[in-house]
Structure 1
Amino acid sequence: MPTVLVTGATGLIGANICRRLRERGDDVRALVRPGSESGPLRDLGVTLAEGDITSAADVLAAAKDAEFVVHSAAVLGGANQDPGEHARVNTGGLGHILDAAAHVGARRVVALGTTTYFDYTDRPLSEQSPVLDDPPGDPYSVSKKAAFVEVMRRAAEGLDACVVIPGGTFGPSPVPGRALEAPSYNLRILLALRGGIDATVHFPIPWSYADDVAAVTVAALDRGVAGEKYLAFAHPDDVCSMAEFLNRACELAGAQHRVRDITADLLAADAELQRSSGPSLVALANRTFPTPYYTDALTKARLGHTPLRLDDGLRRTLDWLEATRQ
């Protein structure tokens, strides 16, 4: 059976990738930080390699004899972003992964990206969309764009590497604690159900059920093509703001609470609201988006992507949240 190194394995997407790989019999090795919530991965039969993505030596040791590599480790956007940390983890960590994969002769690398640095103002986001010449300046977008550009550069030079782009990801996880940490959408669902969120910044989000992202990633390991990117989103009709997403969850759960949208105009008039929202969300609130938001013909044709509809994913997530709290 092949050995697959997975980074970010305790995270929502990474844990689901590990589960899928183990279910089909792959030998999975996870690079995990000491003290992280790794017990559920061990229960899945994942081999744990303690270390940090910011250490080239740790990454190289974890990659020994790996035939495939999945890189899902990242520092996410939030209200408070440290440019140095984002650069070390999102860009530097990606460099360590690509160096290690080349050193051990891995057959393919699949890295996880994001949407914020692509140019799709005038046409739908697609697998052919170029990166923005002048992307948002928040540390998350800057560091993730640099990582994506580096993957494409290495692929052009001969490394078999491709990228999977998830949207706003939610859903059950084998590692429940991490899947409910801020700023996860699972936690936001819980807070909305309890009346703990009154408003969220308005911009369209292509939602992604976590297991669907894992399925696309595993398919990319099997059938991906070097230098391509794939969109692991739900149905185009399910693109909506975070407020609408949370309100759909509340409605399905029978909760009465509703969340309102914070528009770009409201943000512009309130400096404190801008600060608390964070630079990534402010940039997205002021961006123009196309209709439809995206097209994913290549992902479906190449990888057989058949995502759940948003409400179906929310129902499964609500059931999981209820079971997790018991």
Structure 2
Amino acid sequence: MTRAAHDLIPEAALAWHRAGKGAALATVVETWGSAPRPAGSQLAISGAGEMTGSISGGCVESAVITEALDALHDRKPRLLTFGISDETAFAAGLACGGSIRVLVEPVGDGAGALPEAFLAQLVTARAAPRAVAVVTIPASWERQLVAPGKDAAIDARFRSDRSGMEDDGRFIAIHNPPLRLIVIGAVHIAQPLLTIARTCGYAPVLVDPRAAFGRAERFPGEAVLDDWPDAALARLAPDARTAIVTLTHDPKFDDPAIRFALTSPAFYLGCLGSPRTHAARVERLAEAGFTAQQIAKIHAPVGLDIRARTPAEIAVAIMAEITATLRK
């Protein structure tokens, strides 16, 4: 399971540091009002002025980069607050006013700096991938990596996938494994859907036992499994951070996947097909012993109703519905 390039921010900071360029990591720890990026958003800055990630949409970024370069010289972390008035908010990227607090940490040596070994442990956990939280106490610059099951407050943040400050002064940065999208059916819609999903931060996997459909030239660089759908899903073990979409609208391919998905923790199951096709599908599932409550988990016809017509438009509608389901 690989992360999208735009999510490799701690990895970039570690690579720059190890290359001798110097690196600092900036993290949004709190927001108020209309801040455009949530707590946990990160920006990595190298001593050569390279950067990846985002913490805002404008001048806050410039100010943070300046502070990060200063931190690389004095080797001291800092906690910055940017409060933007409505009159100047647009220029600073906080379009309706608002404030953000940003933690800036130089990587490497220095009292309070982010130790290379600590950052390396985080990168290793993310590569595994394992869920891990970085707990920082800004008052003392103590840091700890915490796995799920160790702290109730941290576990609540793992479940909500939301970083933030606790009342006890700890900043908890959540690093969950990437969201996954499992697509059944290497049809035309799957081509833009996998691309859009990856852009949205998902690790997509395509399943189709028909070798002619899942050819590498049709899906360059994508993970394609040629197992039967239910066998592939058993192998992939969908969890609560997994969305599943069936696109063949052929019962012999879709039905085994749907039956498996309905008994899994996957947060989304969407199935391509007309209302008539879905009605027949519901009848088959009921005959197989699935309850009305289970069957109601299916989003069908798949995707938000945006009057989509082309494969790319349908893919947009599907990804929008997945996002709406995840974020509600």
Question: Normalising TM by the smaller chain, what interval?
Answer: 0.3 to 0.5
Q: TM-score, normalised by structure 1?
A: 0.37
Greater share of helix:
1
Structure with the greater alpha carbon radius of gyration: 2
Q: TM-score, normalised by structure 2?
A: 0.37
